Amino acid sequence: MGRFFQNLKQLKIAGAGAPSSTQLQQTGQSIYIEAGNHKDIGELILIQKANQLQHQNQTLPHPGLSSISTTVINDSGTPATVSPLPVDFELLQVCVLAIKNTSGGAAAVTLAITDGTTSIPLVAGLSVADGATVPIVSPLAFDGSTSATNSPFLLDSNLFLMASSDAEVSLLVGFRTLSVR
């Protein structure tokens, strides 16, 4: 048994108790292509394939892991993190994004993408009337859409959404899980 299987021999390839994406990526950080390393290279290929099958689902969404999350943004004007917040090597595709206002008055909403240090505004000061739900990203192109492209986008643990508002609103995020931790 080569050195890679020794590192993971207590773990399953998939399912409960399987190695995390981090463990699989850290296994075999350096290996040289030499005749003596033939067995190690074969084991590393198997481990990388297990990582792709288990965590990345061959770049397809993981069935049953799509959802719509709701984050309440208070009226303080202070930016708040929007859920879902990916962890580790999780990769989420935002397919639908909307702002719902039930505050009793109009709301001015700012939505930004951030790495936790620097933020880039995506929508600044969007006015959302009381009782309205305004789509920001939609899989459909339609009259009145606020997005010209209506394209999904990706979030990871280092690039996520933040929002602020001058009235309490709910941010609705429909997402697909493309890679799990």
For the chain of 181 residues, list the mean pLDDT of each consecutive stretch of 10.
56 60 63 70 74 65 84 94 88 91 94 94 93 85 56 88 96 88 67
* Residues ≥6 apart with Cβ < 8 Å to 161: 81, 82, 94, 111, 112, 113, 114, 155, 171, 173
**Residue spans per domain, the chain:** 3-59, 67-179
Task: Give the predicted TM-score (pTM) of the model.
Answer: 0.68
pLDDT of residue 21: 64
Would the CA dihedral through 137, 60, 91, 69 be positive or negative?
positive
Of the CA atoms within 13 Å of residue 48, those in its CB half-sphere come to 8
Contact 82, 172 (CB under 8 A): no
- CA 159 distance to own-chain centroid: 8
Q: 142-146 — which CB contacts under 8 Å span 24+ positions?
A: none
Q: Which CATH number fits domain 67-179: 3.40.50, 2.60.120, 1.10.3470, 3.40.30?
A: 2.60.120
**Could you give the CA distance from residue 109 to residue 77 in angstroms, rounded to a whole number?**
9
List of E strands, the chain = 67-73, 80-81, 91-101, 107-114, 119-128, 133-137, 153-155, 160-165, 169-179
φ, ψ of residue 8 in degrees (nearest 5): -115, 10
